Amino acid sequence: MGRAVEALTPRELEVIQALAGGLTNRAIARRLGVSENTVKFHVSSILTKLDAASRAEAVALAARRGLLLL
């Protein structure tokens, strides 16, 4: 099995929830009141922490781990 998964921060959980809803980085930035670059940083951090290769894989992994309200 892979390395242990780091916990997501509360903000990263907000971002992954928005990703699960199909929102773009721009839409997530507007919703959270941050810049698109900040969203990109959070998405990158989420991908690393979940050891995911894509946004879709990150959402699937987060759902399997009970991190999302679907």
SS3 43: helix
Q: What is the pLDDT of residues 13-39, one digit of tens each?
A: 999 999 999 999 999 999 999 999 999
Q: Does residue 45 fall inside a structural domain?
A: yes
Expressed as residue numbers, the domain containing 35 is 10-64
Residue 1 lies in a domain: no
Does residue 4 carry a pLDDT above 70?
no
Q: Is residue 4 part of a domain?
A: no
- Cα–Cα distance, 1 to 62 (Å, whole number): 17
User: For residue 5, what pLDDT is reported?
Assistant: 61
CATH number at residue 47: 1.10.10.10
pLDDT reading at 47 higher than 50: yes
- Provide the Cα torsion 32, 36, 39, 45; round to 10°: -170
State the total domains in the chain.
Answer: 1
